[in-house]
Amino acid sequence: MTDKSTARTGRPVTMARAAAMLASTALVSGLLVCAAAAQNPVKLGVVSVNYNSPSIQQQTDAAIDLAKEKGWDVELFDGQGDQVATNNAAMAFIDRGFDAILNTASANPQMTAVIDYAAEKNVPFVSTFSGLVPNIVADIGSNNTADGVISATELAGRIEGRGHVVKLNWTVLPALVERDRGFHAVMAGFPEIEVTEIEVKVPGQVDDAYAQMNNLLLANPDISAVWTGWDELSAPAARAIEQAGMQDKVFIASMDGIAQTVDLIRSGSPVELTVAYDVDRMGTTAVEVIEDALEGTLPVSKIVTLKPCLITEDTAPPKGEGIDFANCKLFSGE
């Protein structure tokens, strides 16, 4: 039996014709939605208190590139070390009607007023390497405490659990604080390791790390290893060690996996290892989380972690090739 209905013209409409009309209407509606999206693309405000730091720049650029591929309008604010200016820029993005905020490696505990304001205005706030605080959608990164344990364990094993170790870090950024906890958790088990802790100045961290290491090496010829909270400090520390003629005695364990540090590891410099992060994927994951949030889907956990890798002279990729995070090793015995 053929089911028929009558349109306003009085002509009978078969089920097939009705389905075709509905499909046509859906297509037109979809095209209208796409046209509206093209006319009103997502506006993403990106803030970074230290954009010029290599790993931060890399994850920020990866996020921006993906957002632009999606047709979004993106504006970046580089705080150049000024947290107040970074907060003010994020507030301004919200007041200007931006749809979402991405914070790359600026301490969320120092941005709570911004984050609360974004929540009040229903603007998703997503961050990378910035710490867990209320009202964020998610913080994308790694299990930094566990990673600090891995790098510190490798360091302790190479000095047989005794000796003088220098720790260079900046315990303001939550990711670096977490790595610091991991380092101390390991050191607590080795009473014969003496630790000299240096809090570097940010901004100006490269010059400060170099100056601090120069002074320490002159005053402490018994130093056997250096632990740096992030890779940007490893090159100046290595330079100081080499200039002191101590490259055969003192080595560096670091964290981040930036290209410069991997090159140093590959070349046999005092930098012997780093725990490397897939910072490109962190940036792109942040954009995907923002896109989902704008569509009403939130992650199960507000801490989203990605797998790191342990890079040594044996596991460093050939020059010109990136780290294969899908297949790399995380432990030296693998």
Residue 127: what pLDDT?
98
In a domain, 19, yes or no: no
Spatial neighbors of 10 by CB under 8 A, at least 6 apart, are none
Residue 1: what pLDDT?
41
Last residue of a domain, one of 259, 276, 293: 276
Rounded CA-CA distance 163/195 in Å is 9
pTM, 2 dp? 0.86
Buried b (16+ CB within 10 A) or exposed e, 30-52: eeeeeeeeeeeebbbbbbbbbbe
* H-type alpha helices, 225-328: 234-243, 259-266, 279-294
Residue 36: what pLDDT?
40
Residues 150 and 233 in one domain: yes
Given a cut of 50, the residues of the chain with pLDDT beneath it are: 1-13, 15-16, 18-38
Spatial neighbors of 84 by CB under 8 A, at least 6 apart, are none
In a domain, 157, yes or no: yes
Residues 91 and 132 in one domain: yes
Residues 152 and 249 in one domain: yes
What DSSP character marks residue 316?
Answer: P
Rounded CA-CA distance 134/112 in Å is 8
Residues 166 and 260 in one domain: yes
Supply φ then ψ for residue 305, to 5 degrees: -110, 145
In a domain, 35, yes or no: no
Residues 212 and 107 in one domain: no
In a domain, 330, yes or no: no
* Six token digits for residue 197: 């802790």
Give the pairing of strands 100-104 and 43-48. parallel
In a domain, 24, yes or no: no
Rounded CA-CA distance 230/172 in Å is 13
With beta carbons less than 8 A apart as the criterion, state whether 44 and 99 touch.
Answer: yes
Sheet (strand 193-199) strand order: 193-199, 163-169, 223-228, 251-256, 271-276, 309-312
Residues 254 and 297 in one domain: no
In a domain, 52, yes or no: yes
Residues 131 and 166 in one domain: no
With beta carbons less than 8 A apart as the criterion, state whether 167 and 177 touch.
Answer: no
In a domain, 16, yes or no: no
For residue 63, give the CATH number of its domain: 3.40.50.2300
Residue 165: what pLDDT?
98
Rounded CA-CA distance 315/273 in Å is 10
With beta carbons less than 8 A apart as the criterion, state whether 236 and 210 touch.
Answer: yes
Q: Which residues face 225 on adjacent strands?
A: 165, 251
Residue 39: what pLDDT?
63
Residues 181 and 88 in one domain: no
Residues 127 and 221 in one domain: no
Residues 152 and 115 in one domain: no
Three-state DSSP class for residue 314: coil
* Six token digits for residue 151: 């790098």
Residue 112: what pLDDT?
98
Range of the domain at 235: 144-276
Residue 102: what pLDDT?
99
Residues 84 and 129 in one domain: yes
Spatial neighbors of 114 by CB under 8 A, at least 6 apart, are 87, 90, 91, 94, 101, 125
Residues 105 and 151 in one domain: no
What DSSP character marks residue 119?
Answer: H
Rounded CA-CA distance 232/234 in Å is 6
In a domain, 315, yes or no: no
Q: What is the number of domains present in the chain?
A: 2
